[in-house]
Amino acid sequence: MDRSFGGTHEWHEEDVLITVRAYPVPSARYLEISCVAGITSAGALRRLHPIPDRHLDPHARFSKFDIVRLRTKKSEDPRPESYRVDLDAISPKIGHLTTGNHWEERTQWVSPFRASSMESLSAGIRDHGKERSASLGLIRPRSISRFEIVRKPSSDWDDGSKAKLAQESLLYPRRVEPLQFIPYDFFYTFHCEDASCKGHRMSVLDWEIKQSFRRWSLQYGSEWQDKLRQKYQDELPKRSSILRWDAKGQTSNLDDHWALLST
């Protein structure tokens, strides 16, 4: 059964280092989907969407900083990094980059894409108009001043999302654990390396931070927020984390224009 997503260019094979996995969201067509991004071995950024990650065959699933061989083609999304994936041709991972030697291997892959500030990333997109320049970008913040855990107004999926998650699918007959609604949003407040940066406050969409909430709310009970802050407020900033950003669309507010996908 062909589960690939259509596009406008020819299929081709490429090796991709996975640097971003966003937490899944309900989908009318694919039950649920995740936004995945990475860097090819040829040195190009890729947005791979939609990926029904949890419904993939076990041998085809991948984690952050795995290197996987994919069959891709340019999607109809006008953003230059957006590619679609042949889900029936995902090879088992062919490598994984560790954190050894002060993250040297990972730094070699990601450092060519570093920008000095969110302002410079956004200015590039506005200046190019319809042509659009990069809509994925990486920065290393000068400082992270605050990590927030904010309770959402709702404690469960809305009716439309529940219907999507409950549907039967011929594409994905293998049932998985129901997708958990995360009743919290997570925010970073930070300043870019550029001295003119006035600061940003942005929501985090990363799979890892939401999985941490799922595990630690069960493991630590009422102390889960302390554990989450220890890792994402105290430990990560000391590593001078690189943040990966995704342009969502043209808005007047810079912080609304970009989403924080990963740390």
Is 102's pLDDT higher than 50?
A: yes
Provide Rg for the chain, Cα atoms: 19
Is 98's pLDDT higher than 80?
A: yes
Q: What is the pLDDT of residue 251?
A: 43
Under the banding of pLDDT at 50, 70 and 90, the label for residue 261 is low
222 three-state secondary structure: helix
Q: Topology of 12-96 in CATH?
A: OB fold (Dihydrolipoamide Acetyltransferase, E2P) (2.40.50)
Is 248's pLDDT higher than 70?
A: no
Q: What is the pLDDT of residue 253?
A: 56
Is 252's pLDDT higher than 70?
A: no
Asked if the bond preceding 183 is cis, omega within 30° of 0, the reply is no
Between the CA of residue 180 and those of 70, 162, 169, what are the distances in Å? 28, 11, 19
Q: What is the pLDDT of residue 71?
A: 94
Q: What is the pLDDT of residue 242?
A: 65
Q: Where are the domains of the chain?
A: 12-96, 113-262
Rounded mean pLDDT, 30-58: 89
pLDDT tens digits, one per residue of 162-187: 999 988 777 776 678 899 999 999 99
Is 80's pLDDT higher than 80?
A: yes
Under the banding of pLDDT at 50, 70 and 90, the label for residue 227 is very high
Exposed e or buried b per residue across 227-252, where buried means at least 16 C-beta atoms within 10 angstroms of its C-beta: bbeeebbeebbeeebbbbbbbeeeee
Whole-prediction pTM: 0.84
pLDDT tens digits, one per residue of 188-223: 998 988 888 889 888 888 899 999 999 999 999 999
